[in-house]
Structure 1
């Protein structure tokens, strides 16, 4: 049976792009070697392709791996995925919902601090 998403100890994004031809073993190697994390932990790991329209999720479930796959269809449908290829980010359930709805998980940037300047 599939796990309740709120039961995971962490939800991790593999930022940047991932070759989604990798299946369970290939994604597990990325988790273990590149991110130095435990693939058998109670975590959901998410990966996105270069075109940002496909997503794979991998998690361990007591006696085997679960591999999730989502493909967006429609003109211009893209995930707002973080770009840093060497980064893995722990996100919240709320951020995952934003991501699945096509929104950015990063808050928008507001005005920068304005400093007093000399008038000529």
Structure 2
């Protein structure tokens, strides 16, 4: 699911497992009641089922909700199982998640500030 969304969009992951029978109203209520976030904001809300092979994404488009559903045919998502209810992630972490990688990479190249050469 590598759909292009606006650059200013915020991305939230519902850590742990979500009942995948929930539809738009149930997921929006979960965002509002459990996470104290606004489901009508410019944000993506990602949810994953217990098997970790299905994902739902909730997004408000201004005139209605968009609900995306993806079921992997082979493999599972590396979904965060932490005790946090919801977690904001970066666009890079979103791409990692969609590519089957963990959002917390153990080793990655760090950016370097401008340094003067001798």
Q: TM-score range by the shorter chain?
A: 0.7 to 0.9
| CA spacing shift, 1:85–1:18, aligned 2, 3 Å | farther
Structure with the greater alpha carbon radius of gyration:
1
What corresponds to 1:9 in structure 2?
9
Question: What is the aligned counterpart of 1:95 among 93, 97, 102?
Answer: 93
Q: Is the 8 A contact 1:48 1:55 kept in 2?
A: yes
What corresponds to 1:82 in structure 2?
80
What corresponds to 2:69 in structure 1?
69
| CA spacing shift, 1:19–1:71, aligned 2, 3 Å | same
Q: Which secondary structure does the structure 2 equivalent of 1:28 belong to? A: helix
CA distance in 2, matches of 1:71, 1:57: 12
Where does 1:1-120 land on structure 2 (aligned, <5 Å)?
Answer: 4-74=4-74, 77-84=75-82, 86-108=84-106
Q: Which secondary structure does the structure 1 equivalent of 2:6 belong to? A: helix
TM-score, normalising length: structure 2? 0.83
* Structure 1 unmatched runs, 5+: 110-120
How many residues get paired?
105
Which shifted more, 96-105 or 80-89? 80-89
Q: Which secondary structure does the structure 2 equivalent of 1:32 belong to? A: helix
Runs of 4+ in 1 over 3 A off after TM superposition: none
CA distance in 2, matches of 1:66, 1:100: 18
**In the TM superposition, what is the alpha-carbon distance from 1:7 to its structure 2 partner?**
3.6
Query: RMSD of the TM alignment (CA)?
Result: 1.6
Q: Which secondary structure does the structure 2 equivalent of 1:59 belong to? A: strand
Which shifted more, 57-66 or 82-91? 82-91
